[in-house]
């Protein structure tokens, strides 16, 4: 390794040195270089960076080490449709694809435009794809596809699982994307680039779970053209540290986005839901509902930002809600809702609450004979699953069942 | 059936604790319906919460038994499984939980605690339809979240719906007449009367005599300042209506 590369990240920890070494193994590629430089400017994001103050990856990831256990079970395994499996940074591709869906493998890495704003996205763009394997994987959807495309990221005790997928939905086409992020690697980092062209629509359903010795980063950059429709629904259980970060740009008039999430954090689990929505065109709408429930020793983070520029963001209609339940003494939730509005003809609402279960409701259920644990589970489930209803029916049902199983301690 | 002996209870904790029940004794035998009447602040609602085990209501002395079982030591859910039901003065809204899911969960939880088999889905739906029909609650309302968007009268009818579904051994009706117009009152009373049975007792807590025109009590007790100060037959309720609480309580003191 060249000495200048070795010192590219000042005071690098063992994990960062390993990431630099992995980058050095890549062939020369200006796009990778730009992405890696963007990452190296900060190294693993840490608490002294405003956007990462509550999610310190550098502290949580001192070295790249294989975790004790394999990844979790996929709750969507019974669903039909094409499947892409990602394990130890290797892709296993489907043998056939439904009509209207095409898979393109490219030797060159794709550019990652918001690299400077998304350091873990940049890292993933720089490292994704092994030597000899395609550098980038593009899924092109040219017509409405009924079967969902499933992406399962699950390793079996590997040090890292780093992958990038690009999805392009052509005008008028539709895709249901279902992603399972199941851990099994010391550091899992996934990057999705999703482009919705005019009148295209997509749903993205995410299930994230990780062990207490794993770090996970799930980063997405979504661009919506005129009249595009995008609905994202996530259920996240966290890991030692886990962040689901979504950056969405309304690029042309009349696009509509829904970004919902439910998080459930037990002891020793950290879950971070961060989003940045830019209303870069007139008359676009965003609806965001995030609901969480946290047990003692668990930590939930919500950071949401709506950015409405002055000249282009007129007639924006956007609403951001985050509501969390602290189920036990010692549970932690940090929230930072931000509305940055420069346009004058907009409707932007936000609400943010944090509290305990309602004592009146709990007593009402127990008076009817429902034991305390079950009553709490029922109330918490009713509270959080509101945010899961935006997923396609079958997927929503699976997510609801997963939330219920967690709440009942199964 | 229900036996309360020299019951003392306070509300609140630590320095905030205020004694509300001050030596309340009462016996409601199986098969009877008793009414408790009293002015505001007498302890009527406190009594219903003490008996059902609500947090923050502490029994400082005395006993309460249902069929000889000490209920004061039990968790609220165990009291429910033992057959104690409270129709709430202010029914609670439970967003996100449909009525049918809620009642079925409650019924099966009680059955489980009693070591009985769960009710089958078809049997449950059949029974819910029958009971709902008697109370003018249609299927659409039973699919809605518990009490969410219900009018005051609908909430009270839903309380009686739950009571008829769960078939408790002993029911406490706390101000069930409040918020009801006369037609709803008759519907609710018909539901309560349909549940009268030789092995079931009821305690009807009310401020006004009006409900007792429709649910005829076997005995009427006057609660004042945390104690029963007077007991009598149904005619006592009529006297209270004519003379007011001051008259009747003044005479007892």
* Residue A408: band (very low, low, confident or very high) from pLDDT cuts 50, 70, 90: confident
Question: Mean pLDDT, to the nearest integer, of B54-78?
Answer: 94
CB of A150 closer than 8 Å to CB of A84: yes
Cβ of A369 within 8 Å of Cβ of B102? The answer is: no
Cβ of A381 within 8 Å of Cβ of B77? The answer is: no
Chain segment A113-165, per-residue pLDDT in tens: 999 999 999 999 999 976 666 777 999 999 999 999 999 999 999 999 999 99
Q: How many Å apart are CA A400 and CA A388, to the nearest integer?
A: 7
B77 → closest Cβ in A361, A369, A385: A369
Question: Mean pLDDT, to the nearest integer, of B16-38?
Answer: 93
- State which residue of chain A sits closest to B89, comparing Cα positions: A364
B77 → closest Cβ in A358, A360, A366: A366
Lowest-confidence pick of A30-39, A48-57, A63-72, A132-141: A132-141
Question: Mean pLDDT, to the nearest integer, of B228-237?
Answer: 91
Of A363 and A107, the structure prediction assigns the larger pLDDT to A363
Chain A: closest CA distance from residue B216 (Å): 26
At A91, is the secondary structure helix, strand, or coil? strand
**Which residues of chain B are within 8 Å of residue A383 when distances are taken between CB atoms?**
95-96
With 90 as the cut, is the pLDDT of residue A109 above it?
no
State the DSSP string of chain B: -EEEEEEEEEESSGGG-EEEEEEEEEEE-TT-EEEEE--TTSSHHHHHHHHHT-TTEEEEEEEEEETTEE-TTS-HHHHHHTTEEEE-SSPPPEEEEEHHHHHHHHHHHHHHHTT-PPPPHHHHHHHHHHHHHHTT--HHHHHSEETTT--HHHHHHHHHHHHHHH--SEEEEESTTTT--HHHHHHHHHHHHHT--TT-EEEEEESSSGGGGTS--SEEEEEETTEEEEEE-THHHHHHHHHHHHHHHHHH-
Residues of chain A above pLDDT 90, percent: 90
Chain A: closest CA distance from residue B55 (Å): 8
pLDDT of A335 reads: 97
Tokens, residue B142: 């039973």
Chain B: closest CA distance from residue A269 (Å): 26
Average pLDDT, chain B: 91
Most confident region among A107-111, A270-274, A308-312 by mean pLDDT: A270-274
Cβ of A367 within 8 Å of Cβ of B95? The answer is: no
Q: A185 - beta bridge partners?
A: A158
Residue ranges of B 89-118 with Cβ closer than 8 A to chain A: 91-97, 102-103, 105-107, 109-110, 113
Q: How many Å apart are CA A155 and CA A284, to the nearest integer?
A: 39
A368 → closest Cβ in B95, B96, B162: B162
Chain segment B28-59, per-residue pLDDT in tens: 999 999 999 988 888 999 999 999 999 999 99
Cβ of B92 within 8 Å of Cβ of A386? The answer is: no
Sign of CA dihedral A12, A13, A19, A21: positive
CB of A20 closer than 8 Å to CB of A6: yes
Cβ of A364 within 8 Å of Cβ of B88? The answer is: yes
Burial A352-374 (b: 16+ CB within 10 A, else e): bebeebeeebbbbbbbbbbbeeb
Q: How many Å apart are CA B35 and CA B206, to the nearest integer?
A: 7
* Residue A410: band (very low, low, confident or very high) from pLDDT cuts 50, 70, 90: low
**Which residues of chain A are within 8 Å of residue B13 when distances are taken between CB atoms?**
none
With 90 as the cut, is the pLDDT of residue A26 above it?
no
Best of A323, A325, A365, A369 to disrupt the B interface (most B CBs within 10 Å) is A369
CB-based contact (8 Å) between B72 and chain A? no
Q: Is residue A379 part of a domain?
A: no
With 50 as the cut, is the pLDDT of residue B253 above it?
no
Cβ of B75 within 8 Å of Cβ of A359? The answer is: no
Q: A106 - beta bridge partners?
A: A136
Chain segment A249-261, per-residue pLDDT in tens: 999 999 999 999 9
Residues of chain B above pLDDT 70, percent: 99
Q: Phi/psi of residue A368, each to 5°? A: -85, 0
Question: Mean pLDDT, to the nearest integer, of A248-274?
Answer: 98
Q: A300 - beta bridge partners?
A: A271, A333
pLDDT of B184 reads: 84
Chain B: closest CA distance from residue A401 (Å): 15
Cβ of B77 within 8 Å of Cβ of A382? The answer is: no
With 90 as the cut, is the pLDDT of residue B136 above it?
no
At A59, is the secondary structure helix, strand, or coil? helix
Question: Mean pLDDT, to the nearest integer, of B165-175?
Answer: 94
With 90 as the cut, is the pLDDT of residue B139 above it?
no
Count of structural domains, chain A: 1
Chain segment B78-98, per-residue pLDDT in tens: 999 999 999 999 999 999 899
Average pLDDT, chain A: 94
With 90 as the cut, is the pLDDT of residue B138 above it?
no
Question: Mean pLDDT, to the nearest integer, of A187-192?
Answer: 97
Chain B: closest CA distance from residue A368 (Å): 6
Best of B77, B78, B99 to disrupt the A interface (most A CBs within 10 Å) is B77
pLDDT of B162 reads: 96
State the DSSP string of A99-118: TTEEEEEESSPPP-GGGGT-
* Residue A6: band (very low, low, confident or very high) from pLDDT cuts 50, 70, 90: confident
Chain A: closest CA distance from residue B110 (Å): 5
- State which residue of chain B sits closest to A363, comparing Cα positions: B54
Query: What are the CA-CA distances from residue A156 to residues A70, A71, A188 (Å)?
Result: 4, 6, 12
CB of B103 closer than 8 Å to CB of B166: yes
Q: How many Å apart are CA A244 and CA A230, to the nearest integer?
A: 17
Which domains are seen in chain B, by residue range?
2-252 (3.40.50.300)
**Which residues of chain B are within 8 Å of residue A370 when distances are taken between CB atoms?**
77, 105-106, 109
**Which residues of chain B are within 8 Å of residue A400 when distances are taken between CB atoms?**
none
Q: How many Å apart are CA A261 and CA A238, to the nearest integer?
A: 12
Chain segment A281-331, per-residue pLDDT in tens: 999 999 999 999 999 999 999 999 999 999 899 999 999 999 999 999 999
CB of B31 closer than 8 Å to CB of B198: yes
pLDDT of B117 reads: 94
Cβ of B105 within 8 Å of Cβ of A382? The answer is: no
Of B245 and A194, the structure prediction assigns the larger pLDDT to A194
pLDDT of A2 reads: 54
Residue A85, domain extent: 3-359
pLDDT of B252 reads: 54
Sign of CA dihedral A254, A259, A139, A399: negative
At A54, is the secondary structure helix, strand, or coil? coil
CB of B32 closer than 8 Å to CB of B218: yes
């Amino acid at each position: 390794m060249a000495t200048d590369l070795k010192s590219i990240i000042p005071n690098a920890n063992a994990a960062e040195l390993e990431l630099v070494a992995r980058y050095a193994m890549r062939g020369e590629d200006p796009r990778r270089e730009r992405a890696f430089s963007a990452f190296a400017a900060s190294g693993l994001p840490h608490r002294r960076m405003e956007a990462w103050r509550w999610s310190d990856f550098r502290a949580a990831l001192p070295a790249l080490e294989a975790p004790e256990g394999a990844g979790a079970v996929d709750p969507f395994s019974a669903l039909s449709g094409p499947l892409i499996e990602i394990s130890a940074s290797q892709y296993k591709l489907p043998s056939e694809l439904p009509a209207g869906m095409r898979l393109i493998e490219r030797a060159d890495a794709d550019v990652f435009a918001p690299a400077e704003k998304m350091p873990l996205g940049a890292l993933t763009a720089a490292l994704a794809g092994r030597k000899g394997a395609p550098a980038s994987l593009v899924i092109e959807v040219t017509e409405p596809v009924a079967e969902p495309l499933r992406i399962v990221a699950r390793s079996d005790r590997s040090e890292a699982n780093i992958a990038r997928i690009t999805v392009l939905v052509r005008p008028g086409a539709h895709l249901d994307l279902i992603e399972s992020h199941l851990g099994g690697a010391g550091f899992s980092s996934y990057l999705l680039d999703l482009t919705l062209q005019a009148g295209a629509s997509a749903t993205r359903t995410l299930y994230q779970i990780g062990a207490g010795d794993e770090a996970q980063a799930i980063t997405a950059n979504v661009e919506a053209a005129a009249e595009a429709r995008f609905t994202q629904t996530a259920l996240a259980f966290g890991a030692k540290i886990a962040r689901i970060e979504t950056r969405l740009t309304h690029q042309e008039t009349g696009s509509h986005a829904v970004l919902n999430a439910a998080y459930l954090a037990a002891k020793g689990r950290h879950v971070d839901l961060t989003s940045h929505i830019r209303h870069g065109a007139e008359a676009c709408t965003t609806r965001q509902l995030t609901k969480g429930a946290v047990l003692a020793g668990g930590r939930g983070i919500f950071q949401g930002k709506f950015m409405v520029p002055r000249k282009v963001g007129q007639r924006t209609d956007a609403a951001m809600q985050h509501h969390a339940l602290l189920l036990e003494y010692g549970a932690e939730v940090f929230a930072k809702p931000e509305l940055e509005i420069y346009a004058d003809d907009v409707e932007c609402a936000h609400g943010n609450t944090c509290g305990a279960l309602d004592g009146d409701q709990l007593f009402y259920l127990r008076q009817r004979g429902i034991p305390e644990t079950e009553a709490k589970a029922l109330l918490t489930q009713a509270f959080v699953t509101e945010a899961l209803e935006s997923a396609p029916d079958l997927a929503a049902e699976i997510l609801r069942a997963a939330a219920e199983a967690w709440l009942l301690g199964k | 059936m229900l036996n309360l002996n020299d019951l003392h209870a306070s509300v609140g904790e630590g320095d905030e604790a205020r004694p509300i029940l001050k030596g309340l004794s009462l016996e409601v035998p199986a098969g009877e319906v008793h009414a408790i009447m009293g002015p505001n602040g007498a302890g009527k609602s406190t009594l219903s919460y003490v008996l059902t085990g609500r947090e923050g209501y502490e029994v400082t002395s005395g006993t309460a038994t249902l069929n000889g079982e000490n209920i004061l030591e039990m968790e609220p859910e165990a009291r429910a499984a033992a057959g104690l039901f409270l129709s709430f003065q202010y029914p609670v809204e439970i967003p996100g939980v449909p009525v049918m899911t809620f009642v079925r969960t409650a019924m099966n939880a009680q059955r489980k605690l009693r070591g009985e088999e769960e009710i089958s889905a078809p049997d449950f739906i059949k029974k819910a339809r029958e009971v709902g029909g008697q109370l003018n609650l249609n299927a659409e309302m039973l699919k809605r979240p518990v009490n969410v968007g219900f009018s005051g009268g609908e909430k009270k009818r839903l309380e009686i719906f739950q009571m008829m579904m769960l078939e408790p051994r002993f029911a406490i009706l706390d101000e069930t007449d409040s918020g009801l117009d006369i037609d709803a009152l008759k519907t609710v009373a018909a539901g309560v009367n349909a549940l009268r049975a030789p092995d079931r007792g009821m305690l009807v807590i009310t401020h006004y005599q009006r409900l007792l025109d429709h649910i005829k009590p076997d005995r009427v007790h006057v609660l004042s300042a945390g104690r029963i100060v007077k007991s009598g037959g149904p005619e006592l309720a009529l006297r209270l209506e004519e003379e007011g609480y001051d008259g009747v309580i003044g005479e007892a003191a």
